[in-house]
Structure 1
Amino acid sequence: MNDSASEPGSVFDVARSWDARADLYLQLFRHEWDSKPFDRAVLAEFAGRVGGGGRVCDVGCGPCGKVTAMLVERGLDVLGIDLSPRCIELARREEPECQFEVRDQQDVGRAVQGGLLDGLVSYYSLHDRPKRELPSTLAAWGEAIRLGGQLLIVAKEGTSDGVVGDPLGTDHRVYWAEFTAQELCRAAEAAAFQVDDVTVREAYADEISTRRIYLSATRLARA
């Protein structure tokens, strides 16, 4: 294994850390959406913007697969992807009617064969990778989404960008990146998205005490 492959926040590192923690995450958060009406409303609004039958990718779907499942219930054609084979294994078990695949979120174009996407959802998929990768990640998403297609990013607000103790409470050290709304807006606009809405909410009592950013955007033609 070369040095870059084992660096904190690398593809290998993220897959390894989530393989080790996927079962615990599922145990802790299998039913988290039951107490998140705001987030359910955000996803419903996103599904409405995309329209019935729209092709969508849920990047960083995790072991629960709930975002993928909720969008499928709203009539969308959804593929959930994640770097962690264990996350995908568990997601397939939890939501057997949905489609899941092991794939890097920066390689989303190859994950969705058969034309450009009508939309993409990133629910906390950005915090495992270094902040310097934000522009290239959003550029990759932009290339995979059709003109007029929809983007929804949900991220934790802050300035962290490095290795921390696992927020899940294990003895693992994991990469943890946070963002400001301005950083997300700039990166989205540079990747040829029009930012339509940015909302910030406080953490719920049972969440990590960090505010959440919700960014909705539309894919534009490049200049």
Structure 2
Amino acid sequence: MGTDRGRVRWSYDVVAEEYLRRIGGELAGKVVDRALLGAVVEEAAGGVVADLGCGPGHVAGWLAGRGAEVVGVDLSPRMVELARREHPGVEFRTGDLLELPAADGEFAAAVALYSVIHLEPEALAPAFTEAYRVLRPGGVLLVSFHLGDEVRRMEEWWGHEVDVDFHFLRTEDVAGRLTGAGFAVEARLERDGLAEEAPTRRGYLLARRPLR
């Protein structure tokens, strides 16, 4: 599969249909996630919200259902194909977190839910620099991740052969990378995994691109 990004792209192409079936309705049982996403919609104040690492578009679809204009971006062409099929009223683009297909300051807000976990640690800083670039001054970024300091290699996922790494991250490390990219971290939250989720603790950070 070549590069790390190539492995991630191929793996998500492989599991896309099963991912949609299993994960596509997950927000129905995630009160905290919905509350945080609702805050992002309010912060966007009618501007465009980016869903960075959108998968099959379920989060983008939820945001659009709350009145937001949304652009979803995903590395996996198959995920983008499914997202367009499931949410025809939302715009989706194929692209990389390290080179987002978006103009400077295009978005009023952005979410990156469990997408940075597939980046090597040294790629977090450039990914957050890209997120900073595409947000307008005052825009917010919501990031979520699995808490810890391990790397889990997946070679089988729901009966499919894959080759993808999941990087568990520490809240302070992610906050430091966000701050280094120019963001001001305004809120932090951690929670245990729900019964229907993988048994990991989850971290959330809400960061803002300063007005100046």
Q: TM-score, normalised by structure 2?
A: 0.93
Conserved? CA contact 1:60–1:81, under 8 Å: yes
1:62 paired with 2:55, answer yes
In the alignment, what sits opposite 1:46?
A: 40
In the alignment, what sits opposite 2:115?
A: 125
Q: How does 1:50-129 map to 2 (within 5 A)?
A: 50-51=44-45, 53-63=46-56, 65-108=57-100, 111-113=101-103, 115-129=105-119
1:153 paired with 2:146, answer no
Superposed displacement of residue 76, structure 1: 2.0
Decide which of 3, 6, 9 is 2:2's aligned counterpart: 6
| 2-structure distance, mates of 1:97, 1:221 | 31
Superposed displacement of residue 207, structure 1: 0.8
Q: Which moved more, 1:160-169 or 1:202-211?
A: 160-169
Q: How does 1:10-49 map to 2 (within 5 A)?
A: 10-49=4-43
Unaligned runs of 5+ in 2: none
Deviation readout 1:42-100 (Å, 9 max, x if unpaired): 1001111221x21221111002x111112222222210010111101111111111111
| 1-structure distance, mates of 2:124, 2:156 | 21
Counting aligned pairs with the same residue, the percent is 32
Number of residue pairs matched by the alignment: 212
In the alignment, what sits opposite 1:144?
A: 134
Deviation readout 1:164-222 (Å, 9 max, x if unpaired): 44464644232111111001110110011110000001000111111111110110267
Superposed displacement of residue 162, structure 1: 5.8
| 2-structure distance, mates of 1:172, 1:116 | 34
Q: What amino acid sits opposite 1:6 in the alignment?
A: G
Q: RMSD of the alignment, in Å?
A: 1.8
Unaligned runs of 5+ in 1: none
Q: TM-score, normalised by structure 1?
A: 0.88
Change (3 A) 1:27 1:40: same
Change (3 A) 1:203 1:169: farther
In the alignment, what sits opposite 2:206?
A: 216
